[in-house]
Amino acid sequence: MVFHPPVAIVAKAGDTGKYKVGLPAWNMILRGIMSGAYIAMGGALATVCSTGVQATDVAMRVGTASPGFAQFMLGAVFPVGLIITVMTGAELFTGDAMLAPMAAFIHKVSWASVLKLWLWVYIGNLIGSIIFAYIAAYGPFVSFDAMGAATLTPFGLRAIAIATAKTNYLGGMALWSCFVKGIGCNWLVNLAILLGICADDAIGKIVGIWFPIFAFVASGFEHSVANMYFIPAGLFCTGLDPTKAVDTLNWVTMWTNNVIPVTLGNIVGGLLFVGVLYWVAFRKEMAALK
């Protein structure tokens, strides 16, 4: 496996960001839709694989797994979405939160072009995530009888539980926690991006991406694009079975109680904790490469 040194990884990240900000808007949206759907695929798989393994009470009755094992299952399978995104050239907002600023630092591209990339990719990610949330909710998360009556499968009930937990950040300190979880998430996500860049072969990229993404999901951090899938999937499921509706779970609280603070945290995590820190750490070595 070819392994690039850290200074080369930072330089390649800047080159990648420069390429991305130069894409036309329609292509940013299209690639964003693709990545939103891919991240949602990982989210759907994580929902299915973690169904039935979460503990039901603090005492953890016999026959139920620990909360840590449920998180392990979530983290173990979720990385498939970012692996597909990176290896097929799709666009993910959380990765661009680091790559586009790197281009601004290294190649002096305008910050207006960085914001343009963020905006169009974010919109594309939202569209792709919601499309796949609908597919999951009306596919494996429900069964229909001959009369068309819907019954949620255990996976659909799990989807509602996940979505409810993600919109249950109530009050100032809870929202601060949500924001901080967004920072931790994108710190790890962008380290995964850098590890993916450091290898030239497919296996090296997959392994490099998998471990940090596993860490962020299993640790319980919050990813804005993943939540664009998780919360709508739960909402679509409550639409199929209104008796499972929860007061705190709706299209408004999706944004106010989760996606907005998580998005801000993701920007800080990617831009500051990875982009700025690595640029400052390696800018002298990069200047020597020119």
Task: Report the distance separating Cα 153 and Cα 101, nearest Å.
Answer: 43
Q: Based on C-alpha coordinates, what's the Rg of the chain?
A: 19
- pLDDT one-digit tens code per residue, 47-66: 999 998 755 444 444 445 57
Instruction: Judge whether residue 86 has pLDDT over 80.
Output: yes
Residue 289's pLDDT band (boundaries 50, 70, 90)?
low
- pLDDT of 70 reads 82
Return the pLDDT at 61: 46
Identify the sign of the CA torsion 216, 221, 225, 230.
positive
3-state SS of the chain? CCECCHHHHHHHHHHHHHHHHCCCHHHHHHHHHHHHHHHHHHHHHHHHHHCCCCCCCCCCCCCCCCHHHHHHHHHHHCCHHHHHHHHHCCCCHHHHHHHHHHHHHHHCCCHHHHHHHHHHHHHHHHHHHHHHHHHHHCCCCEEECCCCCEEECHHHHHHHHHHHHHCCCCCHHHHHHHHHHHHHHHHHHHHHHHHHHHECCHHHHHHHHHHHHHHHHHHCCCCHHHHHHHHHHHHHHHHHCHHHCCCCCCHHHHHHHHHHHHHHHHHHHHHHHHHHHHHHHHHHHHHHHC
Closest CA to 126 of 251, 267, 285, 216: 251
**Which three-class secondary structure string do you get for 17-35?**
HHHHHCCCHHHHHHHHHHH
What number is the average pLDDT over the span 79-83? 97
Q: Which whole number is the average pLDDT over 99-119?
A: 95
- Per-position b or e across 123-146, b if 16+ CB within 10 A of its CB: bbbbbbbbbbbebbbbeebbeeee
Give the confidence band of 43 by pLDDT, cuts at 50, 70, 90. Answer: very high
Residue 227 tokens read as 């939540």
Average pLDDT over residues 205-227: 96
So what's the pLDDT on residue 189? 98
Q: Is 245 left (phi over 0), alpha (psi -120 to 50) or beta?
A: beta
Average pLDDT score, the chain: 92
All domains in the chain, ordered by first residue: 6-289 (1.20.1080.10)
Q: What is the pLDDT of residues 154-213, one digit of tens each?
A: 999 999 999 999 999 999 999 999 999 999 999 999 999 999 998 888 999 999 999 999
The 10s digit of each residue's pLDDT in 241-279 is 999 999 999 999 999 999 999 999 999 999 999 999 999
Residue matched to tokens 């931790």: 184
Predicted local confidence at residue 199, as pLDDT: 87
Separation of alpha carbons 111 and 288, rounded Å: 25
Q: What angle do CA 123, 249, 223 make, to 5 degrees?
A: 45
With tokens 């296996």, the residue in question is 203
- pTM of the prediction? 0.94
How confident is the model over 115-138, as a mean pLDDT? 98
